[in-house]
């Protein structure tokens, strides 16, 4: 890791465990899994919540009192945890796989794997998030937020452009595929 001490991060993470699980994999599908997420992406999101660029009432509150060092430690801890994967809805995974691996030419939707990797691990040096094993319900909520513009913390707005061209069914299908990756 670039910085951060996972052992200190683990101690700081006790307040996160109720929603994200003690090792970064929780049961409530509204709360994202953090286990194995890349350090750079975690630091960016926590800083964006703290500074109010990414808006979520719970997380804006949770990060308000964290220092930059706390954020590094927490990110190092969650990045070091082993991610879990679940099964997706088999009626939707085939369509989801097609979108993930090939995009949709007609809608100018690019293949997700170009940035999030064929196996869903993301791209750690670039800070592109791991998606593999993420709760489908959370993934759909974020795709809708990107499409509506309510999640607009990324200055490049890559996901806004992509999500706004996807159908609701494509979002649901790709989320089921991602959950099983
Ligand atoms: C999102 C970390 C505590 C609920 C996130 C994300 C991170 C994070 C990194 C973004 C994940 C991503 O983009 O994939 C933390 C840390 C915590 C903490 C380090 C402790 C200091 C909590 C608690 C709750 C919670 C206690 C529930 C009461 C949520 C929710 C989201 C989220 C609902 C999604 C927000 C959205 O839709 O934009 N958290 N979390 N978190 N967390 Fe936490
Ligand atoms: C973030 C899905 C294609 C770059 C995300 C997130 C989701 C997602 C669900 C939020 C992750 C989280 O909150 O934990 C998808 C899907 C795609 C796709 C389903 C294909 C249809 C791409 C492509 C790129 C890309 C092609 C690169 C050109 C990013 C980046 C972020 C992100 C940079 C992080 C944004 C931020 O910093 O807030 N993607 N993605 N994605 N994606 Fe994608």
Q: How large is the ipTM?
A: 0.98
Task: Select 93-179's CATH number: 3.30.360.10, 1.10.760.10, 3.40.630.30, 3.30.1490.20.
Answer: 1.10.760.10
Instruction: Report the nearest-CA residue for atom 15 of ligand 1.
Output: 16
* Per-residue confidence (pLDDT) for residue 85, from 0 to 100: 87
Quick one: pLDDT band at residue 26, thresholds 50, 70, 90?
Answer: very high
Ligand 1 atom having least distance to the Cα of 33:
14
* Per-residue confidence (pLDDT) for residue 13, from 0 to 100: 98
Query: Would you say the CATH fold of 93-179 matches that of 6-79?
Result: yes
Q: Go through 141-175 and write b for each residue having 16 or more CB atoms within 10 A of its CB, e for each that does not.
A: bbbebbbeeebeebeeeebbebbebbeeebbbbbb
Ligand 2 atom having least distance to the Cα of 178:
19
Instruction: Break the chain into its structural domains and give their ranges.
Output: 6-79, 93-179
* Per-residue confidence (pLDDT) for residue 3, from 0 to 100: 86
* Per-residue confidence (pLDDT) for residue 15, from 0 to 100: 96
Ligand 1 atom having least distance to the Cα of 74:
19
Quick one: pLDDT band at residue 2, thresholds 50, 70, 90?
Answer: low
pLDDT in tens, 69-124: 999 999 999 999 999 988 999 999 999 999 999 999 999 999 999 999 999 999 99
The span from the first CA to the last CA of the chain, in angstroms, equals 24
Ligand number, closest to the Cα atom of 49? 1
Ligand number, closest to the Cα atom of 178? 2
Q: What is the CATH number of domain 6-79?
A: 1.10.760.10
Ligand number, closest to the Cα atom of 70? 1
Q: Is 46 in the pocket of ligand 1 (CB under 6 A)?
A: yes
């Amino acid at each position: 890791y670039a910085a951060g001490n996972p052992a200190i991060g683990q101690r700081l993470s006790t307040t996160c465990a109720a929603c994200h699980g003690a090792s970064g994999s929780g049961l409530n599908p509204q709360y994202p899994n953090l286990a194995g997420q890349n350090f750079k992406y975690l630091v960016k999101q926590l800083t964006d919540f703290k500074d109010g660029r990414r808006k979520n009432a719970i997380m804006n509150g949770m990060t308000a009192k964290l220092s930059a060092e706390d954020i590094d430690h927490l990110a190092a801890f969650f990045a070091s945890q082993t991610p879990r994967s679940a099964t997706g809805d088999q009626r939707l995974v085939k369509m989801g796989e097609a979108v993930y691996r090939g995009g949709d030419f007609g809608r100018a939707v690019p293949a997700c794997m170009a940035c999030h990797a064929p196996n869903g691990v993301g791209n750690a040096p670039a800070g592109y998030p791991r998606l593999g094993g993420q709760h489908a319900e959370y993934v759909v909520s974020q795709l809708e937020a990107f499409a509506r513009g309510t999640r607009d913390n990324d200055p490049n707005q890559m996901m806004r452009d992509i999500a706004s061209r996807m159908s609701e069914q494509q979002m649901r299908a790709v989320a089921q595929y991602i959950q099983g990756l």
